[in-house]
Structure 1
Amino acid sequence: MITINDIAKIAGVAKSTVSRYLNGGSISSTTASKIEAVIKEHNYVPSTFAQSLKAKNSRLIGFIIPRLDSRAAIATLEGIDKKVQEHDYQLLIANTNQSTEEEVRRIYAFAKEKVSGIILMATEITEKHIQAVKEVGIPTIFVGQEHEEVYSVVHDDYQAGFEFTRQLLALGHRKITYFSVAENDHAVGVLRKKGVLDAIKQEAPSSVDVVETTFSMVDAIDIGMSQLESNHDSLWIAATDNIAVGLLKAAHTMKVAVPEQLSLAGFGGYDISDYVYPSLSTVHFRYVEAGEQSFHYLDQLIKGEDIPKKTVIDFDIYHRESVADLT
């Protein structure tokens, strides 16, 4: 790990100058910029600073989100904010635009802001995430993703995928396309997809195609219109409601009637799923509850109390108008 001596050498300044900078002393703006650049590049956090964080509660909570337009993130924030206000904390929010590098950088940045704890909705958990959490020494809860070395609050993605698909198959659907996302997102791209595919394999002699897309509704519209030119499956299952709404838009554009000619289902339980026509069959993940639980456990960690390594939040299944009963 980089030291103050290393920072001074790289920045071309004296060790005492780096020390003054770290302690809020007076140095020129040019010199400060040089030191700051080196610190950011090497993700440096002074060990003495990490020790001071443990000794004093700043009443600041850092919340790192993947996207500003993520309904899951906003609903999770709603739950966190409710508890933050009840417990007299202040909330700092950082958006990463789904960049794992930015997520790691924000951990170190929040450490410099002297937050008491961090809640992180990571796109994935990498070794750099784990290293950063260990180095800053700040209580941290991951929401939506899990790893054996960190504390996490997660949704039951595998079981949701399995149970929802099992119920859809009971409606007589046998030709299915599943629209997934990349597997670097372990919760959605791996666990949720595995639940869907395992149900199809176990419950019925069915055919299934897997099409990979992104979380973008616009991308879902494009890929949906492309698929409709040759895809004649009776049921499309989307990894998220946003993807499902994009596919619904594609079907409307291509004059394909839902659910008469094509059934659609999604995951998330976003508000929009109930307002589109036809209303979308979906799995409702309890994001607000996840936010409340993540703060509850973070508060316990800040107080030095023991918490479970992983907490799993339950889900609800909503059958609406977008899936036809073929039985």
Structure 2
Amino acid sequence: MNFTPDITIFWGKTSQNLAHVFVRVAGLPSDARLSGFVHGPVCRYSRTLPSRIMLRDLGPGNERLLRAAIPDPCFWSPALPFLYDAELQVETDAAEPVALRQSFGVRMFGASGRSLRLEGKRWVARGTRWPAASETHTPNRDGGPSLAEAIAALHDESLVAVVTDPSPAVCREASEAGVMLLVSVANNHAAFEHQVAELARWPGVAMIAVPAAYDVNVSDRVGALRGRFPNLLFAATMAASERDSGAMPIDWADAVIADIGPAACSEQETATWLAELGRANRPVLVSRHEPALESQSDAVADEPAELFLDARAACDRLQADTAEFGDFAGYLIDGTPFGSGRR
């Protein structure tokens, strides 16, 4: 008998002293017997003393749940992206044992009031769209810098990478290197849940961006996903042209990404909207289209460090330009209009 288990890892009550990590396994035959452990942590930037913590099977059900209590956990953050491995063995009476392994990181990242918070402190996102992260535009395909070099350049500038359809290689390298990914979902409504499930396995993927008017059932769909992946944040993206289109309210969103396009912040309509956003009761990240960066975007194939240095400077300019309207939760620079579907 063949079966393909599906693993989801999430964490519950977490403190500096203890983290409760859960491994949910679906797609198992009824007679499946599970055993396993969590091993780690490991970190690219730090020497560690990995340990092994047993996973306890919490009993039968349509989906099996295992739990490990990790003492003195090391958390995933951009500065120190600590990773663990969950290793499982599935035994049945009618098939050979199946070994499963999945890496994960425990992030203390969330939204509170008007702020994003990382490891208990207010954290401001500064990010740029990175077209090279898509599966159809892979770094180093033409002999340019390696994926690791491009990710390292993002990390050096403390940038969040705003991406669409990131390849598994990009997600893996970002997770190991400590680069946070803000993923805007492609316009494939039927595959939405599958896309999120694939992304949720990567520690570097911390936020999913969904158009505020994605579809009429977006609130229910995001609510169901939040139940499956409680450690992901979901942000609603809105363009200035949509603010009066009925896309609001967006009560399902943990945060809002407001795309002001290439407009100057002094323009009356943009200024009015920014003032409204500055009074919002949830984190607001402001995104601005920078045509100059779009014209340079091919430079990532040769000089990613230079491109991302310019992007970081553009984030700082955006923060300065919007300071009079509010202290926003993030500043994003987009080489293409946010949500346009371009890569």
- Structure 1 and Structure 2 fold alike (TM over 0.5): no
When you count strand as a share of all residues, which structure comes out higher? 2
When you count helix as a share of all residues, which structure comes out higher? 1
The two structures have a TM-score, normalised by structure 1, of 0.29
The two structures have a TM-score, normalised by structure 2, of 0.28
Q: Which has the larger radius of gyration?
A: 1
Q: Quick one: higher RCO (CA 8 Å, sep 6+), 1 or 2? A: 1
